[in-house]
Amino acid sequence: MILGPGPFKAKDLPSKSQYELDDGHAVLCLPTLGRGGAAQALGARVIGTDPLVEHSGVEVGFQLGEGTLRAPDVAVMSGAPGEGWVQGAPPLAIEYADRGQDEVELRRKTQQLLEGGTRAVWVVRLGRIRQVEVYTRGPAGDVVCTVAQAHETLSLPGVLQNPVPVAALFDPQQADLATLQNLLDRFGFVHPDQARELGREEGREEGREEGARAVAIAVLRARGEADPEARIAGLDEAALVRLLAGR
């Protein structure tokens, strides 16, 4: 139990530290289990490619006060990141909870983020029943929790443009589909089916192939391709569409 302010300040904590700060008290951040780390990478990709998100990060330190520094597993930033800790709370924070989770610490971290201005904290449960707990602040300032199941979607208007399938936060195939939708939207497409039609229709407006190439490069880069430009070099429009469609 924290009885009073601790001796540490956020400005004194070095980057890559193993600790967060809770009102001046050091909070040890232990390594993540394999499935938690893999799921975290999926969530970061899905959130980071949303058309409204300009900046996002993984385990970025947000300074909520002189002695309080919190680093959500995944977070959206409200402004361009600088060299120091991000000042203020992220509009959206995502935490992954797996076996051995310290529930007391998780609740305190969630409350501090919400009190600092975070609009929603999504806690992704990776146990036997996979679901997401959505924490927001009620009209009276109290913490409100709702639960979304794997077949549902999550929305946060003004922060995210597209709804996020709950399963996309931990399932690789669903994460790929959500990421592809986000990337296509960034380049002016509404649905992946439209990309498939690019190679079937003639007489489209000038610049269609350039758009398909831009989307293909973005998709390959999101998949971890080292040199996406070289991968698509020489491909015609029909081949680009097959690549986007995963064929």
Average pLDDT over residues 38-52: 96
Residue 96 has pLDDT above 70, yes or no: yes
Residue 245 has pLDDT above 50, yes or no: yes
pLDDT at site 108: 93
pLDDT at site 11: 75
Q: Is the pLDDT higher at 22 or at 68? A: 68
At 57, give phi and psi (nearest 5°): -160, 165
Q: Which pLDDT band, with edges at 50, 70 and 90, does 193 fall under?
A: low
Question: How many of the other CB atoms lie within 10 Å of CB of 229?
Answer: 12
DSSP for residue 223: T
Distance CA 104, CA 122 (A): 16
Question: How many of the other CB atoms lie within 10 Å of CB of 82?
Answer: 8
Give long-range contacts, CB 8 A cutoff, 24+ apart: 55-59: 55/79, 55/80, 55/81, 57/81
Under 8 Å between Cβ of 195 and 189: yes
Q: Which pLDDT band, with edges at 50, 70 and 90, does 196 fall under?
A: low
CATH of domain 10-186: 3.90.1570.10
State pLDDT tens for residues 207-232.
666 777 787 887 788 777 888 888 88
pLDDT at site 6: 64
Name the residue ranges covered by the structural domains of the chain: 10-186, 187-247
β-strands 62-65, 86-87 pairing = parallel
| Mean pLDDT over each residue of the chain, to the nearest integer | 85
